[in-house]
Amino acid sequence: MDVQQIRRDIHQHPELGFTEFRTASIVVEKLQSFGFDVMYGKDVMDESACRGMPPKYEIEEAYHVALNEQADAEIIKHMEGGFTGVIGKMSGNKQGSTVAFRFDMDALPIIEAEDEGHVPFREDFHSLHKGKMHACGHDGHTAIGLKLAETLKDEDFAGTLLLIFQPAEEGGRGASSIAANGVLDNIDKLYCMHLGLDAPQGEVWCGTDGWLATTKINSTFHGVSSHAGVAPEKGKNALVGAATALLNIHALPRYSDGKTRVNVGALNGGTATNIIPDKATMVIETRSDKAEINEDLEDRVKNIVEHSAKMHDLDYEIEIVGEGTTIQCDESLINTAFEEAEELNLFSSVKRMGRATGSEDASILIKRVQEYGGEGTYMLIGTDLPAPHHHPAFDINEKSLHDAVKLLNRIATKELIDK
């Protein structure tokens, strides 16, 4: 199996979060073919902890697209409704730790560049689905995970290897359902990784901090419409409530002991000039470099939404549609990664720690593992970026795929075989 070829296949067939039916189908098939014990669908995901599920019709449409593009009907039947997470498990004959690696699989709603300067276009593996694109490297992550599986398939482990293929990382939506499922609770060591981000080609960062805890919130205000000329007092104006919430959310205080961010990213409400608006929706996010500050902000935002609604006798709904937390990488995993990366002699620079920007929902998985007594780290494997993440011209240097597989293989070998 060629890691580059499989990355290109996935790149060509991008699937948005919770609709990675074709991708997950391939993952299941490959893992099974390598002898892994494979769980997927609701066996690895808690339905109630899925954040920001797409509308049903979008999931169904994607499902049919996947069927048309050679997804295995039998397999994805068990993923119906958006449960596209997959975990491959392989236990050895010897006792030992449970060591896991995590990969994400989802694409983004971006129209991919179509010009000769963009390698996927020039070499003819760009997105077949206009408006969807692997613009963050998750195609590479999935390919790395599968190739890693292949390289380890004939080993006899002292312990257990878990390969976690997570849906819907974008927006912080997929990790919570896997964490809540409990399937991670026996993990001793969890290695997470990302290509690129703040790490340049040739570098490996064995641990990272700086990740912002974040909560993504959808809120809806329900009022009563009435004719703005004939009986304005009969209406309950959802937009007045929403505008009040918006200003007050932005007016939340700065915190003296940590960074904060708040944003109302979108507000939509009302229909026509002459109708008192009966509905308004807002999407909101909070962030902080301290998890407890982010929780406090989230509580304050919810409180503002609630009382902005009640102030005008409106009903309201609040839904958490995404989340991430901070990451505290464990020293021993950083050490292992560092030593193996150094010995590998492939990288121009191996750093123990680096500072990331942004948010990442692997944080939810690491936190869960740590709460249950395990350890975790989040690594960056540098790659050339012709354009930033989430850009139509985003791409990776495929050399980093090979390097990543080699590094992860060494770590797994160290943790599970060379015992």
Among 171, 174, 202, 382, binds a second copy (CB under 8 A): 171
Contacting a second copy within 376-405 (CB under 8 A): none
Least distance to a second copy, CB of residue 276, Å: 6
Q: Are the C-beta atoms of 213 and 281 separated by less than 8 Å? A: no
Give the whole-angstrom CA distance, residue 369 versus residue 365.
Answer: 6
Among 271, 332, 348, 349, binds a second copy (CB under 8 A): 271
Among 7, 216, 351, 410, binds a second copy (CB under 8 A): 216
CA-to-CA dists, residue 284 to 21, 55, 169, 295, 305, angstroms: 29, 19, 18, 14, 10
Least distance to a second copy, CB of residue 306, Å: 8
Q: Are the C-beta atoms of 159 and 96 separated by less than 8 Å? A: yes
* N-to-C CA span, the chain: 28
Question: Under the criterion CB under 8 A, does residue 358 sit at the interface with a second copy?
Answer: yes
Give the whole-angstrom CA distance, residue 211 versus residue 372.
Answer: 21
Question: Under the criterion CB under 8 A, does residue 55 sit at the interface with a second copy?
Answer: no
Give the whole-angstrom CA distance, residue 288 versus residue 212.
Answer: 5
Question: Under the criterion CB under 8 A, does residue 354 sit at the interface with a second copy?
Answer: no
Contacting a second copy within 278-337 (CB under 8 A): 280, 283-285, 287, 293, 296, 303-304, 306-308, 310-313, 322
Token pair of 404 as six digits: 């990543």
Tell me the β-bridge partners of 279. 222
Number of shown-chain residues binding a second copy (CB under 8 A): 68
Among 45, 66, 161, 243, binds a second copy (CB under 8 A): 243
Question: Under the criterion CB under 8 A, does residue 261 sit at the interface with a second copy?
Answer: yes
Question: Under the criterion CB under 8 A, does residue 362 sit at the interface with a second copy?
Answer: no
Among 59, 144, 246, 396, binds a second copy (CB under 8 A): 246
Token pair of 112 as six digits: 């991919």
Give the whole-angstrom CA distance, residue 239 versus residue 402.
Answer: 53
Least distance to a second copy, CB of residue 294, Å: 12
Give the whole-angstrom CA distance, residue 387 versus residue 391.
Answer: 6
Give the H/E segment covering residue 354. Answer: strand 349-355
Question: Which of 121/255 has CB closer to a second copy?
Answer: 255
| Interaction site with a second copy (CB under 8 A) | 171, 212, 214, 216-217, 228-235, 237, 239-240, 242-244, 246-248, 250-251, 253-257, 259-277, 280, 283-285, 287, 293, 296, 303-304, 306-308, 310-313, 322, 357-359
